[in-house]
Amino acid sequence: MPNSFVAIRRSTTSWLIGNNQNEWYTIKLIPSSCIVLAWIVILRFHVEGTKRTFTICLPVDGISTDEHRRLRVFYGI
Protein backbone atom coordinates (compact mmCIF):
# COMPACT_ATOMS: atom_id res chain seq x y z
CA MET A 1 0.00 0.00 0.00
CA PRO A 2 1.52 3.35 -1.01
CA ASN A 3 1.88 6.18 1.49
CA SER A 4 1.08 8.92 -0.98
CA PHE A 5 -1.55 9.47 -3.64
CA VAL A 6 -1.53 11.79 -6.63
CA ALA A 7 -5.04 11.59 -8.10
CA ILE A 8 -8.67 11.08 -7.20
CA ARG A 9 -11.57 10.30 -9.48
CA ARG A 10 -15.15 9.14 -9.39
CA SER A 11 -16.35 6.04 -11.22
CA THR A 12 -20.02 5.31 -11.74
CA THR A 13 -20.19 3.37 -8.46
CA SER A 14 -17.31 4.52 -6.23
CA TRP A 15 -14.42 6.89 -5.56
CA LEU A 16 -10.92 5.87 -6.63
CA ILE A 17 -7.51 7.11 -5.50
CA GLY A 18 -4.35 6.72 -7.58
CA ASN A 19 -0.62 6.67 -6.89
CA ASN A 20 2.32 7.67 -9.08
CA GLN A 21 2.66 4.10 -10.44
CA ASN A 22 -0.79 4.53 -12.04
CA GLU A 23 -2.35 2.03 -9.62
CA TRP A 24 -5.95 2.80 -8.62
CA TYR A 25 -7.61 1.80 -5.36
CA THR A 26 -11.29 1.87 -4.43
CA ILE A 27 -11.85 3.98 -1.32
CA LYS A 28 -14.61 4.34 1.24
CA LEU A 29 -15.10 7.91 2.41
CA ILE A 30 -15.66 8.57 6.11
CA PRO A 31 -18.55 11.07 5.94
CA SER A 32 -18.32 12.27 9.54
CA SER A 33 -14.68 13.27 9.02
CA CYS A 34 -14.84 14.90 5.58
CA ILE A 35 -15.11 18.65 5.02
CA VAL A 36 -16.20 20.23 1.74
CA LEU A 37 -15.98 24.01 1.56
CA ALA A 38 -16.11 26.43 -1.35
CA TRP A 39 -12.29 26.68 -1.52
CA ILE A 40 -10.98 23.39 -0.12
CA VAL A 41 -11.94 19.73 0.28
CA ILE A 42 -10.57 17.51 3.04
CA LEU A 43 -11.38 13.84 2.60
CA ARG A 44 -10.76 11.08 5.11
CA PHE A 45 -11.04 7.57 3.77
CA HIS A 46 -10.09 3.92 4.00
CA VAL A 47 -8.68 2.04 1.04
CA GLU A 48 -11.02 -0.89 0.47
CA GLY A 49 -9.78 -3.95 2.35
CA THR A 50 -7.69 -2.00 4.88
CA LYS A 51 -8.36 -0.35 8.23
CA ARG A 52 -5.77 2.42 7.84
CA THR A 53 -7.24 5.92 7.60
CA PHE A 54 -5.84 8.36 5.04
CA THR A 55 -6.47 12.07 4.66
CA ILE A 56 -6.16 14.09 1.48
CA CYS A 57 -6.49 17.86 1.16
CA LEU A 58 -7.61 19.15 -2.24
CA PRO A 59 -7.78 22.75 -3.38
CA VAL A 60 -10.98 23.31 -5.33
CA ASP A 61 -9.05 23.87 -8.55
CA GLY A 62 -7.52 20.39 -8.07
CA ILE A 63 -10.79 18.59 -8.87
CA SER A 64 -13.39 19.06 -11.55
CA THR A 65 -16.34 21.36 -10.95
CA ASP A 66 -18.67 18.38 -11.25
CA GLU A 67 -16.77 16.33 -8.64
CA HIS A 68 -16.75 19.30 -6.26
CA ARG A 69 -20.51 19.73 -6.73
CA ARG A 70 -21.10 16.02 -6.09
CA LEU A 71 -19.11 16.17 -2.86
CA ARG A 72 -20.97 19.29 -1.68
CA VAL A 73 -24.33 17.68 -2.43
CA PHE A 74 -23.29 14.38 -0.84
CA TYR A 75 -22.26 16.13 2.38
CA GLY A 76 -25.21 18.54 2.31
CA ILE A 77 -23.19 21.72 2.17
Q: What are phi and psi of 59, to 5 degrees?
A: -70, 150
The CA distance from 75 to 22, in Å, is 28
Query: Tell me, what's the pLDDT at 12?
Result: 85
Please check the confidence at residue 34 and state whether its pLDDT lies above 90.
no
Tell me, yes or no, whether 63 lies in a domain: yes
Query: Tell me, what's the pLDDT at 44?
Result: 93
Tell me, yes or no, whether 1 lies in a domain: no
Q: What are phi and psi of 53, to 5 degrees?
A: -95, 135
> What pTM was computed for the model?
0.75
The CA distance from 3 to 45, in Å, is 13
Expressed as residue numbers, the domain containing 31 is 7-74
Tell me, yes or no, whether 17 lies in a domain: yes
Q: Considering its fold, how many domains does the chain have in total?
A: 1
From the number of C-beta atoms within 10 Å of its C-beta (0-12, 13-18, 19+), residue 51 rates as exposed
Residue-averaged pLDDT of the chain: 85
Query: Tell me, what's the pLDDT at 41?
Result: 86
Query: Tell me, what's the pLDDT at 28?
Result: 92
